Amino acid sequence: MAFIDSIEQQIPSPADKERRKVYYSGKKKRHTTVKNQIMVNNRGHIIHKVGYKK
């Protein structure tokens, strides 16, 4: 059995206005840089990690 979870990592607000728009998460009301997806087995060991995406 495996469990899948996704997380977002928070970053400081970028100085460039265009980058601020790209990295702002309206749902979480903060700037987030990447989203990671992790799959773990029932013992809590990470068995797969998907690379980060904007």
50 Cβ contact list (under 8 Å, min separation 6): 36, 37, 38
pLDDT at 41: 87
Q: What's the total number of domains in the chain?
A: 1
pLDDT at 53: 55
Please state the pTM of the whole predicted model.
0.47
| Structural domain harbouring 35 | 2-53
Q: How far, in Å, CA of 23 to CA of 14, rounded?
A: 8
pLDDT at 54: 55
pLDDT at 13: 80
- pLDDT averaged over consecutive 10-residue blocks of the chain (54 residues)? 76 83 78 78 83 60
